[in-house]
Structure 1
């Protein structure tokens, strides 16, 4: 299964994507702490439906989020593969 739960930090403003009648939003995020020196630190979130409006209304760059979704990858052979997560649930993460 490719189901995953992560804590991430938003590093860029969202990009709106339009394909025919479907609209989605792509957001670049990174993990708060790098575990290994050569590991990937950044990935992209794909938001659909009501999560797009909620993200714009409640979140901004430098916010921490708990995301639950499906992990996808575009390439397996080269090192420049891009990792994306199709978001199923989105929660704020508070640091006190």
Structure 2
């Protein structure tokens, strides 16, 4: 094979590869939104959020599937003191 045909084959391969990636990036969100349920809802994944508020004290709130109740909450203060179901 000569150099020109090798470059042509490489260009065609790259073109189809780029088109496949672009299609996947566009099609996946469209298909998910069309199905009406997201991945997290289907798999039972608990989406966790973090944040902060102004103040002088800090604490961590923990919830775990290993606690005695699904609604149990453990609060850990910055000095190490614990309250709730820890």
* TM > 0.5 fold call: no
Q: TM-score, normalised by structure 1?
A: 0.25
Q: From the CA coordinates, give the structure whose radius of gyration is larger.
A: 2
Q: TM-score, normalised by structure 2?
A: 0.27
Of Structure 1 and Structure 2, the greater helix share is in 2
Of Structure 1 and Structure 2, the greater strand share is in 1
